[in-house]
Amino acid sequence: MQVQKAPNDNWWRGGVIYQIYPRSFADSNGDGIGDLPGITAHLDYVASLGVDGIWLSPFFTSPMKDFGYDVSDYCDVDPMFGSLADFKALIARAHELGLKVMIDQVLSHSSDQHPWFVESRSSTTNAKSDWYVWADAKDDGNPPNNWLSIFGGSAWQWDTRRCQYYMHNFLTSQPDLNFHNPQVQTALLETVKFWLDLGVDGYRLDTVNFYVHDAQLRNNPPRGRPDGTDAAVTAVNPYGWQWHKYDKSQPENLEFLRKLRAMLDQYPNTAMVGEIGDDDGLACLAEYTRGGDKLHMAYCFDLLGPEHSAPYLHGVISRFESISEGGWPCWALSNHDVVRVASRWGGSAHDLAKLKLAAAMQLSLRGSSCIYQGDELGLPEAEIAFEDIQDPYGITMWPEFKGRDGCRTPMPWDGKAADLGFAPAGATQSKPWLPVAESQRALAVSEQDGVKDSLLTYYRQILQWRKTQPAIQRGDLQLLPVSDLVFAFVRGFEGARVLCAFNFSATATRYALPADLHGAQALEGSGLSGGTLQADSLELAPWGGLFARLG
């Protein structure tokens, strides 16, 4: 018998999600680490932006070897962040403000301190002996295959208790769960249900295509050393030197996603967004979100790198639109894993016009959007001295890759405060877990709030304006001819059509419009500037853009 689905208002379809990294958002007690009460105290600010929901990076019990992405208890709050009561208060306040709450579920792996792994590694015959990915050594003692860890070196770690290797796609302290075991899937689904019953509105699923590995443990084929032409293959991390055919993105992954979706469908107005890290991220994104029975939406890393020329953007969107078959993307330009967009796309001067243009482009693509905390302020990547680095990825790869700490420094609330207002005035101060970035002081919320031409004001304006444009929120997308400088497309919904054009260059340019777009009328209220309409063309200033009504 088919189970009746709960109603879903599709708030996520075309919605905007604001990512909060709890350690760095706001510290309510002055211990140097952000926490849940700190987030709750600043939810009014988040709501004022005009976003639809928040995504909270992990706050579960953890030894914090990877800052919460190594979970030792899926159903409790780590004391450094607060308590379950604090989390319930956060949900209640968010809902009062009309914000949905999505939490980060790390299902592909756990901490090596999780009771499941402690039992699993204790012997080859215990009740959870097959809950993780264990394998015998080759006859010469080497690991069972050539799989690599993203954080460097082999994906296999020798364990002297079982005299076997266990698999870890990330740190050795993050063993991979064995999704070929139905008991593992059932246990993980129970942890998902726990938070749904507490009232969360959905999930961001970490490394969602990593859940299932090839049961035969076949070697990945070589990709080759980088030759400088492929930005996806880096010289400092050999992970990119092979095609990841067998260690992730396996067909069985889809069946687990269907089980996840079936569970969420029993709760009203819920949604899932998945993180896709794959050799062909766009194809995986499309596969995982089409059909209405897996993820609601997902993002990959195609817009999270340095490339942002008009031809590149046209190519990314053109390919996705050609293969999506109804799939739904959630476009992100920054998150806690990559260099901030103000530094990647904004140039050394973090040009304000570039950042406004990037935001306008992101928020007008077909799909949903995710904004990382501080991007609405134009925060640049922070410089972190080696002695202050916390990220194990950066410590391993130093100095050519400095890790992810530069995008994780404390949120600057008050440009006049010594700690940028990360902790409340008068609190017993401890040193923040990462140093505050002096380069961000002039960009603090206090310095931009209410300032007419600030990026913060612009984000509020365009997010509120976007809510009045159903064609941009939910419409289809028609790409206009590719240009060396201009990325342009038309969004259409129920007869309404909106032209969106962006000059991704430092050169003023004229962009000829197709004949069926002549006579467009400029749309007011978005805050985007630098574009004027002629009868048959657009005149776009450097880093200028324009929205126009058609028909």
Q: Please identify every residue annotated as catalytic.
A: 206, 275
DSSP string, 494-528: TTEEEEEEEE-SSS-EEEEPPGGGTT-EEPPSS--
Q: Residue 11: is it exposed, middle or buried by C-beta count within 10 angstroms (0-12/13-18/19+)?
A: middle
> How far, CA to CA in Å, does 451 sit from each of 206, 439, 448, 525?
36, 19, 5, 17
Asked if residue 281 lies in contact with residue 302, where contact means CB atoms within 8 angstroms, the answer is yes
Q: Residue 438: is it exposed, middle or buried by C-beta count within 10 angstroms (0-12/13-18/19+)?
A: exposed
Among residues 331, 403, 425, 341, which one has the least CA distance to residue 378? 341
Residue in this structure with the two tokens 């570039």, named with its chain if needed:
354
Spatial distance between the Cα atoms of 361 and 197, rounded to a whole number of angstroms: 37
What does the block give as tokens for 73? 């208890």
What does the block give as tokens for 111? 């901490």
Q: Which residues of 318-350 are buried (b: 16+ CB within 10 A; e: fewer)?
A: eebbeebeebbbbbbbbbbbbbbbbbbbbeeeb
Residue in this structure with the two tokens 């657009």, named with its chain if needed:
538
The tally of CA atoms less than 13 A away on the side-chain side of residue 415 is 13
Spatial distance between the Cα atoms of 400 and 525, rounded to a whole number of angstroms: 44
Asked if residue 443 lies in contact with residue 410, where contact means CB atoms within 8 angstroms, the answer is no
Alpha helices for 199-309 (secondary structure H): 252-264, 281-289
Helix (DSSP H) and strand (DSSP E) numbers for the chain: 15, 21
What does the block give as tokens for 495? 């007869």
The tally of CA atoms less than 13 A away on the side-chain side of residue 433 is 22
CB atoms within 10 A of CB 535: 8
Residue type, 410: P
CB atoms within 10 A of CB 483: 18
With vertex at residue 536, the alpha carbon angle to CA 533 and CA 537, rounded to the nearest 5 degrees, is: 50
